[in-house]
Amino acid sequence: MRAPLSWLREYVDLPAGETGRDVQERLVSAGLEVERVEQLGAGLKGPLVVGKVLAIEELTGFKKPIRFCQVDVGTANGTGEPQNIVCGATNFHVGDKVVVILPGGVLPGDFQISARKTYGRTSEGMICSTSELGMGDTVSNSLGGDGIIVLPPEHEAGTDAIELLELVDEVLDIAVTPDRGYCMSMRGIARETATAYGLPLRDPALLDVPAPNSYGYQVKVADPIGCDRFTARTVVNVDPEAASPIWLQRRLQKAGMRPVSLAVDITNYVMLELGQPLHAYDRNRLDGPIGVRRAQPGEKLTTLDGTQRALDPEDLVITDNSGPIGLAGVMGGANTEIADPVRDEQTGEVRGTSEIVIEAAHFDPVAVARTARRHRLSSEASKRFERGVDPQAASAAAQRTVDLLVLLAGGTAEAGVTEVITPSAPRTISIPADHPDRVAGTEYGRETVVRRLQQVGCDVYGADELVVTVPSWRPDLTDPNDLAEEVIRLEGYENLPSTLPKLPSGRGLTESQLLRRRVGRSLAGAGYVEVLSYPFVGDAVLDQLGLEPGDPRRRAVTLVNPLSDEEPAMRTTLLPGLLGTLRRNHGRGAQDLALFETGLVFQPTGDEPAPPKLTVDRRPTDEEIGALDAALPHQPVHAAVVLSGAREPQGWWGKGYPASWVDAVEAARTIAREAGVELIVRQDQYAPWHPGRCAALYVGDELVGHAGELHPRVIKAMNLPERTSAMELDLERLEQARGGPLRAPRVSTFPVATQDVALVVDTAVPAADVEAALRAGAGELLEDLRLFDVFSGEQIGEGKKSLAYALRFRATDRTLTAEEASAARDAAVVTAAERTGAVLRGA
């Protein structure tokens, strides 16, 4: 809503020097979002006067038409002589009244005017167009359209045009929130301004309105819920040629609307003034009584914008005998609109609309909102009805429209006044007088509360318990807190005290939250950089990952309205996003990359039922909450890493080594350590990993994830660096596996006994199995065990490998003898032999 300051002053006697910015500050504090204050005519300086074109000489020989004009500017030029002006526009004639800027004047944009030689003549000023005067480009009609302004003939030459055209003004541009429908009008903004300044309001809706009677235009409302009020008035003998006066056009322009024709301009003007959308019908194009009902299946309507629309049975429509003639509260139909005047060249007679039926109705906000959304048709009317229009303003708005048609178009008001009203009681809300105090946390006192509510327009009764009748223009005031907000905002949010509540002791972060932080820190500490990628995926990337058709990771939640049709699904694995980010970094020249992400993945069963629709006037039952949750997919937290290039770069310190499957597995171990669980690694084959370099990650018997080098085909398909490796695991399963508090180890101070063994096993035997067997066989004396070499070659034999372990033995109560240590070692080797077929090397 754009509110010109000059217009606002009509309803509120603001202090003379008050600027738009001053008003902005007050209104912002009162809760109106005044986004900016536009300065109209900034930099404009006269003399700018009305001129009468006396003579026009068409100059020839130039690329475009050029006119040399003599213009009477009265005594504004100090001589009274006609002013010689060169002009490039052609939309004016001898005798027309135009707007002239004289030498010494300045146009907006610091355009200094002086007498100068041009096209072989001396031009002493300029004949102005609307755009040159900064009047905006939304202009048509008598104020000149795109060309020179041609004024109505009654204005005297020499009259100051800055004042005449109200060129200097300030306009408040206000973003009206959905609850403040009444501020979609000058009346509403004036009310807020008056309250903010503590000044009286001249309410433009306070008009004398004749009582309804039975001889007005007939209206039948078949849907009193959709339309609880319909006022119809008729004005006849309207002069179809009458044009909107300058002040009316200028106010519309400043408010951001385009002057069209007098009748339409008047309905728009009254809408801006009072907030009541109106519609004007050409009575001679109406066929029988006006009706209001829902549309019938198959009905169509061509709206004013020329679009033919198939109507929905939910649409509320205005009808006559011919069928729908308008979308109620949204847009009128083309067939009954006010006709443009047409002059019959033979007779000189002007034909156009001379009898007008005015509609001022109140429609259900929800019905209007749905229709506007359904037809993607947001109009000035629908914007207001959606937010709530003052139903009590309808008859005043109709009266104001009638008055203006009589005043400006020479019309005659017919005596018939139609009002179809479904009565409704005024809404009252009871609140304790100190309710606003308790909401705010400060003491306003009853007197202030009552005064502020009255300023809002409420009637207030009662002492400790207030019975508040809310004004008809505030449908948003329904609850006690709504009233509290009115009081608090008018008293100023800036005056609220600043206190802190006394909280009960909190329990800090949960185990799971702590774990995620530790995981993030330790991976970052291990050289990984965290990324947060978008969770949107498509089939293409799942194909690239080589997932089989039946892979559960292909069963994804899909979006109705994805940003890209290529990626309509929600991720079931973190890898697509991470690998995409790796590729992007690689493409930008990064060589050695290690990235990690933790986040939700979405794992639907595909059988989730739809969630029930639940009421909000009570807590849902546990069953109902369960039904809501059952509609949602499983959404566990995953952690994943990807790496490529060198894990350790080579440098002056020596060789580096490439990132590989082992780093990916190690990342899983890092996470497992943070989770306090033992990770068991087994050989596996699983997409998208290299079938020979893929580890399955277990906690106990539960599979929690995979790690390893990616399949070469995946690397090729996704255009990734060679040997890219990856790990992904389900963090929640790790969390759940976490045991109780750790039992501290006993630290023995007796000396250690070290024994090395080299075991030969089949290549296929996992080292993890050999180690487990050694540990099991060595018994309690084994303090530590380390694999220090893996070797295969001719000496070992085909299909074999040698694993060399350092075993450290220690007892808690004595120094071990060499015999004891050897016995423990031998026991370990025996168990390894039994379980893995290991043979002591050299034995």
CB of 576 to another protein, least distance (A): 13
Buried residues in 573-589 as b, exposed as e (16+ CB within 10 A): bbbbbbbbbbbebbeee
Say if residue 552 is preceded by a cis peptide, omega within 30 of 0: no
Task: Report whether 124 belongs to an annotated binding site.
Answer: no
Secondary structure E strands in 674-749: 680-684, 689-699, 702-710, 725-730
Looking at residue 771, its amino acid is E
CB of 186 to another protein, least distance (A): 20
- 122 touches 97 (CB < 8 A): no
Task: Report whether 58 belongs to an annotated binding site.
Answer: no
Separation CA 390–CA 392 (nearest Å):
5
Q: What is the signed CA dihedral for 520, 524, 526, 528, rounded to 10 degrees? A: 110
What are the residues whose beta carbons fall under 8 Å from the beta carbon of 632, sequence distance 6 or more? 608, 611
Judged by CB, which is closer to another protein: 12, or 372? 372
Separation CA 148–CA 132 (nearest Å):
9
Sort strands 300-302 and 323-327 into parallel, antiparallel or unpaired.
unpaired
CB of 648 to another protein, least distance (A): 6
CB of 42 to another protein, least distance (A): 17
Tell me the two tokens of residue 422: 């479904």
Looking at residue 812, its amino acid is T
- 664 touches 641 (CB < 8 A): yes
- 620 touches 614 (CB < 8 A): yes
CB of 572 to another protein, least distance (A): 12
CB of 555 to another protein, least distance (A): 11
Judged by CB, which is closer to another protein: 284, or 558? 558
Judged by CB, which is closer to another protein: 241, or 314? 314
Distances from the Cα of 502 to the Cα of 253, 435, 827, angstroms: 55, 21, 64
CB of 489 to another protein, least distance (A): 4
Separation CA 764–CA 165 (nearest Å):
95
Tell me the two tokens of residue 315: 């649409």
Apex 810 CA angle, 808 and 811, nearest 5: 160
Separation CA 294–CA 319 (nearest Å):
10
Tell me the two tokens of residue 380: 């000035």
Judged by CB, which is closer to another protein: 347, or 498? 498
Tell me the two tokens of residue 614: 């639940």
Tell me the two tokens of residue 59: 């100059």
Task: Report whether 684 belongs to an annotated binding site.
Answer: no
Phi, psi for 513 (deg, rounded to 5): -65, -40
Judged by CB, which is closer to another protein: 373, or 716? 373
Judged by CB, which is closer to another protein: 224, or 620? 620
Apex 149 CA angle, 144 and 155, nearest 5: 120
Say if residue 432 is preceded by a cis peptide, omega within 30 of 0: no
CB of 156 to another protein, least distance (A): 43
Q: Closest Cα partner for 274 from 403, 354, 188, 214?
A: 188
Tell me the two tokens of residue 457: 């327009």
The kind and range of the H/E element at 85 are strand 83-87
Separation CA 452–CA 443 (nearest Å):
14
CB of 695 to another protein, least distance (A): 22
CB of 32 to another protein, least distance (A): 8
Task: Report whether 228 belongs to an annotated binding site.
Answer: no
CB of 294 to another protein, least distance (A): 14
CB of 641 to another protein, least distance (A): 10
Separation CA 433–CA 75 (nearest Å):
66
Judged by CB, which is closer to another protein: 227, or 770? 227
Sort strands 316-320 and 308-310 into parallel, antiparallel or unpaired.
unpaired
Phi, psi for 770 (deg, rounded to 5): -60, -45
- 734 touches 514 (CB < 8 A): no
Q: Give the side-chain half-sphere CA count within 13 A for 223.
A: 21
Tell me the two tokens of residue 680: 């068991």
Separation CA 190–CA 273 (nearest Å):
10
CB of 398 to another protein, least distance (A): 26
Judged by CB, which is closer to another protein: 394, or 593? 593
DSSP string, 746-813: P---SPPEEEEEEEEEETTS-HHHHHHHHHHHHGGGEEEEEEEEEE-STTT-TTEEEEEEEEEE--SS
Judged by CB, which is closer to another protein: 299, or 434? 434
Phi, psi for 700 (deg, rounded to 5): 60, -130
Judged by CB, which is closer to another protein: 327, or 774? 327
Separation CA 165–CA 130 (nearest Å):
10
Q: Closest Cα partner for 360 from 244, 258, 275?
A: 275
CB of 168 to another protein, least distance (A): 23
Residue by residue, what is the 3-state secondary structure of 377-427? Answer: CCCHHHHHHHHCCCHHHHHHHHHHHHHHHHHHHCCEEEEEEEEEECCCCCC
CB of 411 to another protein, least distance (A): 37
Residue set of the binding site for Mg(2+): 476, 482, 485-486
